[in-house]
Amino acid sequence: MQFAYKLCSPTYYNELMHMYQKHILDLLRGSQELRYSELQPDGVESSHFKYHLDQLQQDGFVERTRRGVYALTEKGVMAVDRLSVGRINPIQTPKVITYTLLQDDEAYYLYRKPKAPFLDKLNMVAGKVHLDERTYDAAVREVQEKTELTAIDVRHESVAEVRVRQNGQLISHFVAYVFTAGFAGDPSRLEKIPRDELAGRSDLAPDLLALVEAIATKRPFVDLDIGS
Long-range pairs of 112-118 with CB within 8 A, sequence gap ≥ 24: 112/191, 113/205, 116/171, 117/164, 117/171, 117/172, 118/164, 118/205, 118/206, 118/207
* Residue 209 DSSP symbol: H
Residues 48-78: pLDDT tens digits? 999 999 999 999 999 999 999 999 999 998 8
Query: Does 181 or 77 have the greater pLDDT score?
Result: 181
- Name all domains of the chain by residue range, CATH numbers in brackets: 1-92 (1.10.10.10), 95-226 (3.90.79.10)
Residues 97-150: pLDDT tens digits? 999 999 999 999 999 999 888 999 999 999 999 999 999 999 999 999 999 999
pTM for this model (two decimals): 0.74
The band of 26, judged by pLDDT with boundaries at 50, 70 and 90, is confident
Cα–Cα distance, 148 to 189 (Å, whole number):
8
The H or E element spanning position 85 is: none
Which pLDDT value is given to residue 85?
Answer: 61
What is the Cα gyration radius of the chain?
A: 24
Looking at 65-105, list the stretches that DSSP marks H as alpha helix, in order from N- to C-terminal side. 74-80
Residues 193-212: pLDDT tens digits? 999 999 999 999 999 999 99
Q: How far apart are the first and last CA of the chain?
A: 48
Cα–Cα distance, 146 to 126 (Å, whole number):
9
